Structure 1
C-alpha cells in the first residue's frame, strides 16, 4: 500500500468531524478534493471507511477500527509538531554559540543574562573556541552564530556585525613595580619580558602589528594558549602582558597586579557577531541576534 500521511490526516479529520465540508475547511482545501482522497484511500485499503448519513458521514465498522490506530498516530504526530515548535520558539528554544574567551567575559555573558531575564526558558549551548575555530564551527553548521574578536576576513554567505568594543590594559606583578606611577614609552617596555598568546591567535597578530607601527618586533618570553592563562602568569612575575580590562579588574583592586601606563595608546578592539546569511536559524537564535543588534545601537 502506498498511502501517504496526508491521506491518513484527511481521513482523521473527516472521521473526527463527521463532515466533509468541515474537514475541508480545517485542511484548507476543497470538499471535492477531500472526497477524492477518501475514495483513493478506500480503494487502496480495499474496504469502505464511511457511509453517508443525514448529518454527514459515519464510520463503517472497518472505519472505526482503522480510526483507532490513525487517531493515535496523528495524536503523536501533532504532539511532536507542537513540542518541536516550542523548542525552536522563544518559549523553549536553544541557541548554539561559539565564542572566544574575550567575547564571553567582555560581552556575551552579560548579554545572555539580560536576554534570559525576558526569555527565561531559552537555553544557550556555548562552545569556547578561538576566533578561527568559531568561524569554522559556523561554516560547518554546528552553531547559530559566532561571537569573536576582530579583525579577521570572512567570505559570503557569512556576514559580520560589530556588537561592542573593549580595551586591553597592560599589567605587571611585584617584580615590575619599578614601572608603576609613570607613563612609559613602548620602546622602553619592549625590553621587558612579555607574556602573550601564541602566534596563530588573532590577538597576537594584532600586537605584532601594533609593535611594528612603532618600529619594534614583538617577541614574547612566554606564549600561552588562552587569554585566561595570562593573568596567573603575570601574577607569578613571568613577565608583563596585555589583557582585557574585565579580566584584570579584580586582581588590580586586590593589589595582586598593577596597571602599567603607556605613553602610546593601544587601540580599542571590536567584538563581532558572525552569522551565516543562508543558514536556517531558530526563532530564538534570530531573536537573540536582533537583541544584540539593538543593544549596540
Structure 2
C-alpha cells in the first residue's frame, strides 16, 4: 500500500488523544479535515479504526493493532529528532580520536581539557596509536580524527592540516646527571645509551634521520612503545630519552629526571590533524577540529 505519512500522523494523534478535535489542535489543523483523513485511511485499509463513545473516540481492535506499530514508529522518530538536536547543541554525542603520544602530550591534552570544560556531556573516545596506526584508524572509520606527527605516507583518502609544533628535549636520570648543565653535541649524546620509540613509528624515523644528517649511527639501546614509557625508563638510569617539553612542565613524575641541553636544539616536530576526505564530521568532532586549529599554547 502507498499510504502517506500524513495519514498515519493524523491517526497517531487521534489515537493518542482519543479525540479528533485534540488531534486537530496538536496538528494545527481543523477537525473536519482530521475526520476526512481518518475516513480515507479506513477506506484504504478496508477496516474501521475508531468508534465513537460518550468519552470521545476509541480504537477498534484493528485500530489497536495498527496503533501499536504506528506509535513505536513515531516515538522512534521523535527520539531520533531529539538525539540530533541534542547533538547539535553538544549536549550529547561522542568524538573518536586516534592520537600519537607526541601529539597527546604536545598539544592534544591541552585542547581536550578546554573541550571538556565547554562540552562536558560529549563523550571522548581517545586511543593511543603510532602515526601509521592512527592514519589507518581514520581511514577505516574507527576514528573521526587522527592527531599525530609527521613521518608517514599519507593515504589519498585523507586530508591533513598542521595544528602545532612540539619541541622535544633530551632527558636523563641521576646516573647521567653529570651531563646536565652542559651544552652537549648530538655526538656526545650518542656516546650514551639511547632510548627511543620502536621502529616503524614516526619518532624512530625522525631521530634516525636526525642522527644520519649528523653522520652518526642510530641504534637505540632500548625501544619503547609510547612516549609515556620514556620517563620511567630514563628514571631507572637505562639511558637518555627524548620527550616533549610539555611533559616537563609541572609534572609530578619529574623526580629524578634531568633535562639536558644540546648546543643545537632538536628541530621542532609538526603535529597534524587528519580526517577523511568528503566525509562529514559530527558536530562534536567539528567543534574539536575547530579548537585544535585555533589552539594557542597558554590559553
TM-score range, shorter chain: 0.7 to 0.9
Answer yes or no: is the 8 Å Cα contact 2:98–2:127 preserved in 1: yes
- Other-structure match for 1:134: 134
In structure 2, the residue matched to 1:239 is: 239
Give the aligned partner of residue 55 of structure 1. none
Q: CA deviation at 1:22?
A: 8.2
Give the CA RMSD over aligned residues.
Answer: 3.5
Q: Would the alpha carbon gap of residues 229 and 118 (structure 1) be closer, same or farther in structure 2, given more than 3 Å must change? A: closer
2:10/2:37 contact within 8 Å kept: no
Normalization by structure 2: what TM-score? 0.80
Gaps of 5+ in 1: 52-57
Structure 1 distance, partners of 2:103, 2:254, is 22
Listed as ranges, the matches of 1:1-297 within 5 Å are: 8-9=8-9, 11-12=11-12, 18=20, 39=40, 41-49=41-49, 62=60, 65=64, 68-69=67-68, 72-86=71-85, 88-89=87-88, 90-249=90-249, 250=251, 254=255, 256-296=256-296
Contact map agreement 2:48 2:63 (CA 8 A) in 1: no
Deviation at 1:61, TM superposition (A): 5.6
In the aligned structure 2, how far is the partner of 1:179 from the partner of 1:189?
A: 9
**Range that drifts further, 132-141 or 182-191:** 182-191
Query: Cα gap change, 1:44/1:169 in structure 2, threshold over 3 Å: closer, same or farther?
Result: same
Q: Secondary structure at the match of 1:295?
A: coil
* Structure-1-length-normalised TM-score: 0.80
Shift in CA distance, 36/154, structure 1 to aligned 2, threshold 3 Å: farther
Alignment coverage as a number of residue pairs: 285
For residues 152 and 242 of structure 2, the distance between their equivalents in structure 1, rounded to whole angstroms, comes to 20
Which sections of structure 2, spanning at least 5 residues, go unmatched?
A: none
Q: Is the 8 A contact 2:100 2:149 kept in 1?
A: yes
Equivalents in 1 of 2:253, 2:169: separation in Å? 11
Q: Using a 3 Å threshold, how does the CA distance of structure 1 residues 80 and 153 change in structure 2: closer, same or farther?
A: same
CA contact (8 A) 1:141 1:279 kept: no
SS at match of 1:281: coil
Residues 151 and 270 in structure 1, CA contact (< 8 A), matched pair in contact too: no
Q: What SS does the corresponding residue of 2:295 show, helix, strand or coil?
A: helix
Preserved contact between residue 180 and residue 259 of structure 1 (Cα < 8 Å): yes
Change (3 A) 1:71 1:223: closer
- In 2, Cα distance between equivalents of 1:185 and 1:107: 28
